Amino acid sequence: MIETLKDYYSGFAIMNQELTLVLVLIFVLLADLFLGEKGKKNLQFAAIGSFALATISGFTVSFGGSQEAFAGMYVTSDMHVLVKNILNIGTLLVFFFAHYWNKNENRNQSGEFYFLTLSTLLGMYLMVSSGNFILFYIGLETASIPMAALVAFNKKNRDSAEAAAKYILTAAFSSGVMLFGISLIYGSCGSLYFDEVANAFQGLPVQILAMVFFMAGMGFKISLVPFHLWTADTYQGAPTSVTAYLSVMSKGAAAFTFLCILFKAFHNYPEIWQNILWWIIVVTITVGNLFAIRQKNLKRFLAFSSISQAGYIMLGVISGSPLGMTSTVYYIFIYLFTNLAAFGIISNIENQTGKVGMDDYNGLYGTNPKSAFIMTLAMFSLGGIPPFAGFFSKFFIFAAAAEQGQYLLVFIALLNTIISLYYYLLVVKAMFINKSENPIPTIKSDNMSIIGLGICTIGILILGFISPIYEYMTSISFGM
């Protein structure tokens, strides 16, 4: 009895990051309660500061090999730790950008904002580290339900409510589809642990059906075509900080989890899901790109761009190799800095002038040269132009797909980068070349978002040249 209890509690020993995050969560909740109306300003610093400490402490965690707890329910390894650290960095950056919004427009609910965001982060942690479909599902729901509340945060804005309704309905629907898949897996494999599912998976029709349902559910979360329809409306309606969070963190965590589960639970029949994924990638990238061309609202524009980026992330997943995992995580890492830089600028400008249309950005270089410069870097990096970081991540992810002989897929994806470059250049063109009667006035950013943008800019400019990060990821990644 005592031995079992000991085992039980020792399981918590490897959950350092989760426990730290729970501490921060409780701290923020209590601080919000006790600081009251007057302490809103201090609350923000308390939340950001404590979370920054948690982020830093995350880098001290190291396991060497793979570890598990609660009889394989929870698994972790250096790769999982790294992914959580990447999520932490992203969340911290979102907090920086959200600071101004929380200080003014969202003053009354800033405590809730931090609390809910950190709750979704906890859900993502559990999802990433799951070794069983049940924990995975719990993590997923913990991540999605507070997210719906976050999307609806602009209570007076009808768009925000509409976005949240769309989000919660599709999320519920996709969860249902996924649960159905999971129940079929349990019925046909007799277990929900990934390892045991892998052993029992024989490619029976019912198992393949289960896998397809599971993939469809994941497709909703990562917004792969044809499960992407909620993305544009939700991204447009949600407060910009939440959109940024949704587009990077939510997507990154789900993509990594998807990769882990495919590698762990379905690795005996890779050609089945690789064939499905092949088509999903082709349509995701193409549809995302083609729809992005016509968008005039920058948030909507970035929504479609993020759909096609999700397709590129899947290129690393389809390879099923350690190189694929490395390049997927690396892609998410770079994508985080790049996309958050873009959202940082958009949120800055939206907060101060309320403008998000692409036409509003005409002549931005004349009035806000620094913002225009950072936005250009972000667009070039998203388009995969060297010497910015996006080039390196794209190169590696293509290399991972090409390693498995997927040359046709790489070629299709590359042709799509031309389309994507076209619309990314449209933004650059608006800022640098187009003339405007009524340009956005020179805005003065607050210090927090300047710090955030600075970090993103440095990330875009130099990350590609620092190979040790990539090498470290290579050393801890694993394949099927």
Partner 1 sequence: MMAIIFCLGSEKKNIIRMVMAVGALAILGTAVYVTLDFLAQREAGDAADFLFRQDIVWYQSLNINYSVGVDGISVAMLLLSSVIVLTGVFASWGMEIQTKEYFLWFLMLAIGVFGFFISIDLFTMFLFYEVALIPMYLLIGLWGTGRKEYSAMKLTLMLMGGSAFLMVGIFGIYYFSSADGQLTFNIVEIAKNHAMPVDKQLIFFPLTFVGFGVLGAMFPFHTWSPDGHASAPTAVSMLHAGVLMKLGGYGCFRIAMNLMPEAADQLSWIFIILTGTSVVYGAFSACVQNDLKYINAYSSVSHCGLVLFALLMMNKTAMTGAILQMVSHGLMTALFFALIGMIYGRTHTRDIREMGGMMKIMPVLGVCYVIAGLASLGLPGLSGFVAEMTIFVGSFEHTDLFHRFFVIMGCTSIVITAVYILRVVGKVLFGPVQDKHHESLTDAVWHEKIAAFGLIIAIAGIGLAPLWLSDMISNSSIIMHFMK
Q: Residue numbers of the site for partner 1 (CB under 8 A)?
A: 326, 380, 385-387, 391, 395-396, 398-399, 402-403, 407, 410-411, 414-415, 417-418, 421-422, 425, 428-429, 432-433, 467, 470-471, 474
Q: How far is the CB of 368 from partner 1 (least distance, A)?
A: 15
Q: How far is the CB of 436 from partner 1 (least distance, A)?
A: 15
The residues, ordered by sequence, that sit 6+ positions from 223 with a Cβ below 8 Å of its Cβ are 230, 231, 251, 306, 307, 310
Beta carbon nearer to partner 1, 111 or 459 = 459
Q: How far is the CB of 422 from partner 1 (least distance, A)?
A: 6
Q: How far is the CB of 360 from partner 1 (least distance, A)?
A: 19
Beta carbon nearer to partner 1, 88 or 381 = 381
CA distance 135 to 151: 24
Closest CA to 371 of 390, 343, 394, 397: 343
Beta carbon nearer to partner 1, 272 or 399 = 399
69 strand-pairing partners:
74
Token pair 């997210």 is at which residue? Answer: 147
Rounded to 5°, angle at Cα 325 from 322 and 327: 110
**Contact present, 378 and 338 (Cβ < 8 Å):** yes
Beta carbon nearer to partner 1, 9 or 472 = 472
Beta carbon nearer to partner 1, 71 or 466 = 466
Q: How far is the CB of 392 from partner 1 (least distance, A)?
A: 9
Beta carbon nearer to partner 1, 12 or 422 = 422
CA distances (Å), origin 209, targets 203, 204, 349, 395, 474: 10, 9, 47, 34, 33
Q: How far is the CB of 428 from partner 1 (least distance, A)?
A: 7
Using CA atoms of 90, 352, 293, 433 in order, give the dihedral in degrees to the nearest 10. -110
Closest CA to 207 of 220, 190, 231, 224: 190
Q: Is 425 helix (H, G, I), strand (E, B) or coil?
A: helix
Q: How far is the CB of 478 from partner 1 (least distance, A)?
A: 14
Beta carbon nearer to partner 1, 42 or 467 = 467
CA distance 143 to 117: 9
CA distance 282 to 315: 10
Q: How far is the CB of 418 from partner 1 (least distance, A)?
A: 5
Beta carbon nearer to partner 1, 23 or 418 = 418
Residue length of the chain = 480
CA distance 319 to 314: 9
CA distance 165 to 157: 13
193 strand-pairing partners:
132
